[in-house]
C-alpha cells in the first residue's frame, strides 16, 4: 500500500472529489459486469483507491481544524460522509470483483442488464455518427441533460469522468447513464455499435420450469436492490443538505425494505444450488452482488443518521453538494410550474428536463419514493437530483414559468378591470331582481289573501246577479220570440183559410197585437226566470268559491308584488352594485389564475351581490308603504273574482233560466199571446 503523505487540500475540495467519484462508481461497476469489461472493473478499483486516499486527506485536514470538543462535534458530519462514501466505493469494487476474481457471470446478471440497460448505454462512435466532433458538454446540453457520459475510452485507455470539453472522435467508446428516452436517443446518435447483453439460450434438454421462476424472482430482487440503494444515497445527501428528518426517516424505512429484499434474494439463490445445472461460481457471484448492493443502502443509512440523531449539519456540506457535478434540490410545485400534471415514468426520470425525482411529499403528508405513474400535483414538495446544469436549467425554467404566469395574471387583471362595470351591472341587475321578487313575495301574498277575502264575496254576488239577469233576458227573449212567431204563423194561416184576401197591413196588425201581448206577459215571466237563474248561479259560485278565491288571490298577489317590487328593486340595486363592485375589485387584486376576465368578475361578484341584495330587499320591504299595493291588490282581486265568478255563474244561470223558461214563459206568454191573436183575428175578419 502506498504511503499516505499529507497534502494541503481543503476539507471541502476533498469531500467534493469523494462525492463526485462515488456518484459514478456504482454505475461504472455495474457497467463492467453488464458489458463484461475487466478494464472497466480495474478502473473501479483505481477510483476506490483514489477515494480512500482522499478520505485520508480529508481526515488530516479536519484534524488540523479541531481545537476542542465543540469543533470535533462540528466536523462529525464530514467524517461520517467521508466514511460512508468510502464504504460505497468498497461496495462498488465488490460488485466489479465478480468479474475480476474469476466468478462466472450468472445468466441472471444478463437478464438484469436487459431490464436495466434502458438507463445505461455503451457504444462506439462511428465515422458517420452525428456525435463525432462534438464535446461532451455540447452533447449533454443538446440532449437537455437527459444523459451523463461518465466514461470514455481513447487509445485503449478508459478515462473516467472525462473533461466536459473533450471532443468525441470516431473509434471512441463511451459509457453513459440517464433517462429511458435519453439513453434510447443516445444509442441512435452513436451510429456505431451499442453493446447489449443477449439472453442466454434455453437448454431444450432441461426442464427449467421451477428454475425460471426462481431466476425471475432474483432479477426482480436485484432490480429492487439496485434502484433502492442508489436512490437512498441521493435522498440521504438531500436529508443532510436540508436537515430534513422526514427525508432521513424515508432512508431508514427504505433500508429496512432493502434488508427484506436481500433476504429473499439470498434464499432464492440458495434454492438454485439444489439443481445440478447451476454453476456454483456464478451463484457465489450473485451473492456477492446482493451483499454489496445492500451494503450501499447501509452506507446511505449511516449518512441519514446524521440528521436522525440530531447532529447539526456543517456549512461545507451545502458547498460540496452545490459545487458537485450532480445537484440535489427541493422544490414545492406551484400552479405555474411546468411539471404540474406530469406523470412520473419508470426510473423516475423527467426526461424533458433531464432530472430525476427522488422523493415526493403531498400536502400534510410525509416524503415517499414515488411509484411509476404518480401524477405531480400543485403543492407537492419534491426532492430532485440531476446534473448541476440540468437542475439549474430546470429551476430557471420554473422561474421563467412563474414570471410568465405572473405576466399573464397581470394581463388578466387589467382585462378584468375593463369589464368590471359591465359585468357588475349585469350581476347586480339579476341579483336585485331575484331578491326583490323573493322578498316581496311573502308580503304580496299576505296582502293578496286579505284582498281576496274582502273582494270575493261581494264580487261573487255581483257576478251571479249579472249572469242571472243576462241569462234571463236572453232566454226569455228567445222563448218569447219563438212563441210569438209560432202563434202569428198559425193565426195568419187560419185566417187566410177563411179570408184569402188578407193583405200585408192586416198581417202586420195581427203580428203587432200578438207581440205586444206577449211582451207584456214576458216581462212578468222574466222576473221568475231571473230569480231562478240567480239562485242557481249563487249556489254554483258558492260551491266553487275556492276556485274563485284562488284566482282572485293570484291576481292580487301579482299586482301587489309589482307595486312593491318596483320600489324595492330601486333601493336594492344601489346596495347590490356597491357590494358586487367591491368584491370584484378585491378578487381582481388577489387573483392568481389565468381565466376569462368576465368569469373572474362574475364569480367574485355573484355571491356578495346576492347576499347584499337579500339583506337590502328585506329592509326595503319593511320600510315600503303598502297602501298603494293594498289598493292595487283589492282592485285586481275584485276584477279576477268577478271574472271567474261570472264564468262559473253564467253556465249555471243559463241552464236554470232555460229550464224555468220552458215552464213559465212558454205557458204564460203563450196564453197571453194566443188570446191577443184570437182577438186580433176576430177584429180583422169583421172588417
Average pLDDT of the residues of the chain: 78
Confidence of residue 443 (pLDDT cuts 50, 70, 90): confident
Q: Contact at 8 Å (CB) between 414 and 395? A: no
> What integer pLDDT is reported at residue 497 of this predicted model?
72
Each residue's pLDDT tens digit, 155-212: 878 888 888 899 999 888 888 887 777 888 888 888 755 444 333 333 333 344 444 4
Using CA atoms, how far apart are residues 268 and 257, in angstroms rounded to an integer?
17
Predicted local distance difference test score (pLDDT) of residue 198: 35
DSSP state of 367: E
Return the C-alpha cell found at 176.
Answer: 453513459
Mean pLDDT of 571-594: 74
Residue 113 pLDDT more than 60?
Answer: no
Q: What is the mean pLDDT of residues 651-664?
A: 72
As a whole number of angstroms, the distance between CA 74 and CA 77 comes to 7
What percentage of residues in the chain have a pLDDT greater than 90?
A: 5
Least confident of 259-268, 357-366, 522-531: 522-531
pLDDT given for residue 208 in this prediction: 41
- DSSP character string of 115-146: HHGGGEEEEE--TT-TTTT-BHHHHHHHTTT-
Report, as an integer, the average pLDDT of 86-110.
Answer: 85
Cell numbers representing residue 182 in the block: 435519453
More confident position, 638 or 11? 11
Q: Are the C-beta atoms of residues 125 and 170 closer than 8 Å to each other?
A: yes
- DSSP secondary structure of 616-679: HHHHHHHHS--HHHHHHHHHHHHHHHHHHHHHHHHHHHHHHHHHHHHHTHHHHHHHHHHHHHHH
Determine the pLDDT at residue 84: 92
Instruction: Examine the pLDDT at 93 and tell me if it is beyond 90.
Output: yes
Return the percentage of the chain with pLDDT > 70, whole number: 85
User: What pLDDT is recorded for position 205?
Assistant: 36
**Span 376-405, mean pLDDT?**
84
Which has the higher per-residue pLDDT, 281 or 600? 281
Decide if pLDDT at 154 tops 80. Answer: yes
Amino acid at each position: 500500500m502506498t504511503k499516505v503523505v499529507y497534502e494541503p487540500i481543503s476539507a471541502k475540495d476533498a469531500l467534493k472529489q469523494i462525492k463526485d467519484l462515488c456518484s459514478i462508481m456504482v454505475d461504472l461497476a455495474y457497467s463492467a459486469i453488464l458489458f463484461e469489461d475487466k478494464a472497466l472493473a480495474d478502473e473501479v478499483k483505481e477510483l476506490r483507491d483514489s477515494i480512500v486516499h482522499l478520505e485520508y486527506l480529508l481526515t488530516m485536514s479536519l484534524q488540523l481544524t479541531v481545537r476542542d470538543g465543540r469543533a470535533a462535534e462540528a466536523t462529525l458530519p464530514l467524517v461520517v460522509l467521508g466514511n460512508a462514501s468510502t464504504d460505497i466505493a468498497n461496495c462498488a469494487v465488490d460488485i466489479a470483483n465478480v468479474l475480476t476474481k474469476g466468478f462466472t457471470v450468472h445468466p441472471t446478471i444478463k437478464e438484469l442488464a436487459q431490464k436495466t440497460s434502458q438507463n445505461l448505454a455503451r457504444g462506439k462512435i462511428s465515422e458517420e455518427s452525428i456525435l463525432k466532433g462534438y464535446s461532451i458538454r455540447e452533447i449533454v446540453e443538446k440532449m437537455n441533460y437527459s444523459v451523463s457520459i461518465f466514461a470514455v475510452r481513447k487509445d485503449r485507455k478508459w478515462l473516467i469522468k472525462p473533461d466536459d470539453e473533450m471532443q468525441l472522435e470516431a473509434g471512441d467508446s463511451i459509457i453513459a447513464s440517464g433517462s429511458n428516452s435519453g439513453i434510447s436517443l443516445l444509442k441512435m446518435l452513436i451510429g456505431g455499435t451499442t453493446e447489449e447483453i443477449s439472453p442466454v439460450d434455453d437448454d431444450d434438454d432441461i426442464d427449467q420450469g421451477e428454475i425460471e421462476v426462481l431466476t425471475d424472482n432474483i432479477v426482480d430482487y436485484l432490480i429492487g436492490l439496485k434502484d433502492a440503494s442508489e436512490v437512498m444515497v441521493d435522498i440521504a445527501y438531500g436529508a443532510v443538505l436540508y436537515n430534513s428528518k422526514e427525508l432521513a426517516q424515508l432512508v431508514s424505512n427504505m433500508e429496512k425494505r432493502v434488508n427484506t429484499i436481500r433476504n429473499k434474494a439470498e434464499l432464492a439463490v440458495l434454492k438454485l444450488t439444489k439443481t445440478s445445472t447451476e454453476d456454483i461460481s456464478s451463484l457465489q457471484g450473485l451473492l456477492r452482488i446482493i451483499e454489496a448492493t445492500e451494503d450501499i443502502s447501509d452506507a446511505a443509512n449511516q449518512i441519514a443518521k446524521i440528521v436522525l440523531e440530531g447532529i447539526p449539519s456543517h456549512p461545507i456540506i451545502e458547498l460540496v453538494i452545490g459545487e458537485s457535478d450532480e445537484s440535489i434540490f427541493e422544490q414545492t410545485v406551484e400552479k405555474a410550474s411546468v411539471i404540474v400534471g406530469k406523470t412520473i415514468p419508470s426510473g423516475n426520470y423527467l426526461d424533458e428536463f433531464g432530472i430525476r425525482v427522488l422523493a415526493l411529499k403531498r400536502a400534510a403528508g410525509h416524503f415517499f419514493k414515488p411509484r411509476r405513474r404518480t401524477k405531480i400535483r400543485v403543492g407537492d414538495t419534491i426532492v430532485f437530483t440531476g446534473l448541476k446544469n440540468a437542475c439549474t436549467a430546470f429551476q430557471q425554467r420554473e422561474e421563467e414559468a412563474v414570471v410568465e404566469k405572473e405576466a399573464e395574471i397581470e394581463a388578466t387583471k387589467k382585462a378584468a378591470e375593463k369589464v368590471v362595470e359591465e359585468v357588475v351591472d349585469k350581476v347586480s341587475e339579476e341579483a336585485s331582481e331575484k331578491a326583490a321578487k323573493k322578498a316581496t313575495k311573502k308580503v304580496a301574498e299576505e296582502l293578496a289573501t286579505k284582498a281576496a277575502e274582502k273582494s270575493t264575496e261581494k264580487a261573487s254576488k255581483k257576478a251571479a246577479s249579472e249572469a242571472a239577469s243576462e241569462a234571463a233576458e236572453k232566454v226569455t227573449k228567445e222563448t218569447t220570440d219563438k212563441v210569438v212567431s209560432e202563434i202569428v204563423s198559425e193565426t195568419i194561416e187560419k185566417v187566410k183559410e177563411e179570408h184569402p184576401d188578407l193583405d200585408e197591413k192586416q198581417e202586420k196588425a195581427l203580428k203587432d197585437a200578438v207581440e205586444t201581448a206577449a211582451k207584456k206577459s214576458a216581462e212578468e215571466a222574466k222576473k221568475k226566470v231571473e230569480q231562478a237563474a240567480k239562485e242557481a248561479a249563487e249556489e254554483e259560485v258558492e260551491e266553487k268559491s275556492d276556485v274563485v278565491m284562488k284566482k282572485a288571490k293570484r291576481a292580487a298577489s301579482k299586482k301587489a308584488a309589482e307595486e312593491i317590487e318596483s320600489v324595492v328593486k330601486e333601493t336594492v340595486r344601489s346596495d347590490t352594485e356597491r357590494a358586487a363592485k367591491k368584491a370584484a375589485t378585491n378578487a381582481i387584486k388577489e387573483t392568481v389564475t389565468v381565466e376569462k376576465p368576465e368569469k373572474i368578475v362574475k364569480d367574485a361578484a355573484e355571491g356578495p351581490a346576492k347576499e347584499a341584495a337579500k339583506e337590502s330587499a328585506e329592509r326595503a320591504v319593511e320600510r315600503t308603504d303598502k297602501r298603494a299595493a293594498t289598493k292595487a291588490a283589492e282592485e285586481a282581486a275584485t276584477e279576477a273574482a268577478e271574472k271567474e265568478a261570472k264564468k262559473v255563474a253564467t253556465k249555471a244561470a243559463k241552464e236554470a233560466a232555460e229550464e224555468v223558461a220552458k215552464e213559465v214563459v212558454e205557458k204564460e206568454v203563450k196564453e197571453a199571446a194566443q188570446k191577443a191573436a184570437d182577438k186580433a183575428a176576430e177584429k180583422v175578419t169583421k172588417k
